[in-house]
């Protein structure tokens, strides 16, 4: 196995950083492999650490699919190295650049047709989403208030939406999305959920009267903005690092202080899973942390939205051990997923993060439960299971929102029934 990894390093000139994928997307492909033995899992983990290929899903166990994106130039090399270790592969996406171009055309077409309004038939950039939050506060002052809660590294204003009817001393569900920049369906789904609650507030009068929703649709503003302007598949923040190669950013979901950098993260600034130089090195995560700490006494559930893989997960991510109250977490997750699946038949896997996907310390859900004391802390990985991956088409935004909203309602109703005075 070692000789293969070394071969990759030699052929690619011992570089540590991947090439800028924004300029190499045409002809890029996503290949899926399914390791059948432990040695193949080990090989894939070693290959990931080389930072030459973009691992859309991480190697975790025998039988678990691993999706790897490679530029057109690197396709023959990747296929050769996979074949050398007996890994069969199939092409999930034959031309990443074409899908990116289609999304760009759809966005431009939507904006050319008239004044902007979020209708969930397109993906929206950071400024558009923040403007929409302000519009909600103006048009629904009895329901919505918006607070500025800090700035990103590149000085983008981060906002918190407070949604509810009357009174602050109620149980809170804290919702965020967009911690990984390229996962566009996450902010789209979070805003869809907000819109359903706001525009159908009479239907959800009892829920909104007894539960507050505190929402930050995009908590990695700079990275998210960068995916619209420079690199559609950027994952991290955009802060500078000490890399001599100019690599930027940390993985914001490896940057939280609870068991930081113990497992499933990297010390290399050029890695997509770089944990940062220290816990909470990223100002954006400090801003979110401060809001959760500020309201921790009332926050009863934390929901953080990601993509992709269709998973509803609870802590822990740093260990395969389960929290003492795991059965409570699992029972609520099962009920939420049953409601979700009933809408369009979409299936989700349920379990702890480590036992469902892989061990990764420094995540926001672990921190919310382990340090902030939020009992019902969940990471929800949205559609799909790899057909499009991070490039989920616009026509799946509304169906994803519809089904996810039903799952969130189950959580919200449970929080109301359990914690409301």
Print the SS3 string covering 105-122.
HHHHHHHHCCCCCCCCCC
User: Is the domain of 295 the same as that of 373?
Assistant: yes
Question: Within a domain: residue 107?
Answer: no
The per-residue pLDDT for 18 is 45
Q: Where do runs of H (alpha helix) occur along 86-220?
A: 96-112, 126-139, 185-199, 205-210
User: Is the domain of 87 the same as that of 123?
Assistant: no
Contacts of 318 (CB under 8 A, 6+ apart): 258, 259, 262, 263, 264, 354, 359, 360, 361, 362, 363, 366
Lowest-pLDDT range, 6-15, 142-151, 207-216, 284-293? Answer: 6-15
Question: Within a domain: residue 105?
Answer: no
Distance in angstroms (rounded) separating the CA atoms of residues 47 and 35 = 13
User: Is the domain of 76 the same as that of 171?
Assistant: no
Question: Within a domain: residue 103?
Answer: no
Is-contact 305 382, C-beta < 8 A? yes
pTM of the model: 0.93
Question: Within a domain: residue 59?
Answer: yes
User: Is the domain of 281 the same as that of 408?
Assistant: yes
Tens of pLDDT, residue by residue over 104-115, are 888 887 776 655
* Residue 381 known to be catalytic: yes
Is-contact 28 69, C-beta < 8 A? yes
Question: Within a domain: residue 292?
Answer: yes
User: Is the domain of 129 the same as that of 10?
Assistant: no
Tens of pLDDT, residue by residue over 54-91, are 999 999 899 999 999 999 999 999 999 999 999 999 99
Say if residue 29 is exposed, middle or buried (CB neighbours under 10 Å; 0-12, 13-18, 19+): buried
User: Is the domain of 210 the same as that of 243?
Assistant: yes
Which among 85, 100, 88, 121 has a CA at the least distance from the CA of 24? 100
Is-contact 271 386, C-beta < 8 A? no
User: Which residue among the candidates 183, 381, 403, 406 is catalytic per the annotation?
Assistant: 381
Question: Within a domain: residue 207?
Answer: yes
Is-contact 154 222, C-beta < 8 A? yes
| Cβ neighbours, 10 Å, residue 55 | 18
User: Is the domain of 21 the same as that of 122?
Assistant: no
User: Is the domain of 337 the same as that of 213?
Assistant: yes
Show which of 59, 94, 129 is a domain's final residue.
94
Q: Calculate mean pLDDT across residues 168-188.
A: 97
Phi, psi angle pair for 281, to nearest 5°: -65, -25
Show which of 48, 79, 94 is a domain's final residue.
94
User: Is the domain of 325 the same as that of 210?
Assistant: yes
Distance in angstroms (rounded) separating the CA atoms of residues 323 and 253 = 20
Distance in angstroms (rounded) separating the CA atoms of residues 261 and 266 = 7
**CATH of residue 137:** 3.40.630.10
The per-residue pLDDT for 24 is 73
Range of the domain at 313: 118-419
User: Is the domain of 412 the same as that of 336?
Assistant: yes
Distance in angstroms (rounded) separating the CA atoms of residues 23 and 71 = 10
Which among 92, 89, 63, 59 has a CA at the least distance from the CA of 76? 89
Lowest-pLDDT range, 46-60, 150-164, 196-210, 288-302? Answer: 46-60
User: Is the domain of 168 the same as that of 270?
Assistant: yes
Q: How many domains does the chain have?
A: 2
The per-residue pLDDT for 111 is 72
**CATH of residue 67:** 3.30.70.340
Distance in angstroms (rounded) separating the CA atoms of residues 226 and 343 = 33
Tens of pLDDT, residue by residue over 369-403, are 999 999 999 999 999 999 999 999 999 999 999 99
Strand order in the sheet with 66-70: 54-55, 66-70, 29-33, 89-93
> In Å, how far from its chain's centre is CA 284?
15
Distance in angstroms (rounded) separating the CA atoms of residues 207 and 300 = 14
Question: Within a domain: residue 42?
Answer: yes
Q: Could you give the C-alpha distances from 184 to 124, 343, 382, 385, 393, in angstroms and in order?
A: 9, 22, 10, 15, 10
Show which of 62, 94, 126 is a domain's final residue.
94
Is-contact 275 250, C-beta < 8 A? yes
User: Is the domain of 359 the same as that of 210?
Assistant: yes
Question: Within a domain: residue 339?
Answer: yes
Tens of pLDDT, residue by residue over 268-282, are 999 999 999 999 999
Contacts of 48 (CB under 8 A, 6+ apart): 55, 58, 59
């Amino acid at each position: 196995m070692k000789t293969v990894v070394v071969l990759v390093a030699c052929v690619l000139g011992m570089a540590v950083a991947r090439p800028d994928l924004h300029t190499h997307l045409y002809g890029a492909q996503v290949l899926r492999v399914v390791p059948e033995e432990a040695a193949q899992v080990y090989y894939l983990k070693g290959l990931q650490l080389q930072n030459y290929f973009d691992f859309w899903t991480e190697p975790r166990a025998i039988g678990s699919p691993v999706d790897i994106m490679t530029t057109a130039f690197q396709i023959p090399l990747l296929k050769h190295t996979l074949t050398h270790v007996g890994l069969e592969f199939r092409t999930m996406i034959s031309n990443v650049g074409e899908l990116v171009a289609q999304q760009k055309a759809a966005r431009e077409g939507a904006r050319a047709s008239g004044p902007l309004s979020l209708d969930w038939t397109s993906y929206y950039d950071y400024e558009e989403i923040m403007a929409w939050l302000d519009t909600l506060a103006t048009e629904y002052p009895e329901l919505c208030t918006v607070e500025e809660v800090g700035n990103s590294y590149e000085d983008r204003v981060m906002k918190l939406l407070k949604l509810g009817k009357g009174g602050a001393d109620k149980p809170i569900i804290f919702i965020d999305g967009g911690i990984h920049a390229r996962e566009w369906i996450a902010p789209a789904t979070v805003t869809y959920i907000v819109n359903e609650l706001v525009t159908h507030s009479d239907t959800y009068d009892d829920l909104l009267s007894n539960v507050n929703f505190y929402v930050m649709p995009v908590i990695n503003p700079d990275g998210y903005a960068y995916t619209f302007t420079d690199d559609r598949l950027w994952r991290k923040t955009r802060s500078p690092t000490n890399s001599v190669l100019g690599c930027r950013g940390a993985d914001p979901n490896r940057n939280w202080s609870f068991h930081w950098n113990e497992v499933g993260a990297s010390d290399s600034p050029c890695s997509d899973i770089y944990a940062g130089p220290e816990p909470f090195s990223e100002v954006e995560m400090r801003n979110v942390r401060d809001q959760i700490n500020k309201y921790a006494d009332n926050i009863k559930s934390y929901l953080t939205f990601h993509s992709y893989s269709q998973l509803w997960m609870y802590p822990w991510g740093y260990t395969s051990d389960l929290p003492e109250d795991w059965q409570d977490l699992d029972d609520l997750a099962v009920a939420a997923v049953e409601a979700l699946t009933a809408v369009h038949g979409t299936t989700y896997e349920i379990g702890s993060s480590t036992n469902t996907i892989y061990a990764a310390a420094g995540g926001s859900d672990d921190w919310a439960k382990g340090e902030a004391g939020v009992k019902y802390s969940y990471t929800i990985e949205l559609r799909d299971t790899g057909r499009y991956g991070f490039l989920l088409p616009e026509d799946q935004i509304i169906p994803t929102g519809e089904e996810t909203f039903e799952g969130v309602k189950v959580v919200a109703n449970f929080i109301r029934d359990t914690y409301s005075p």
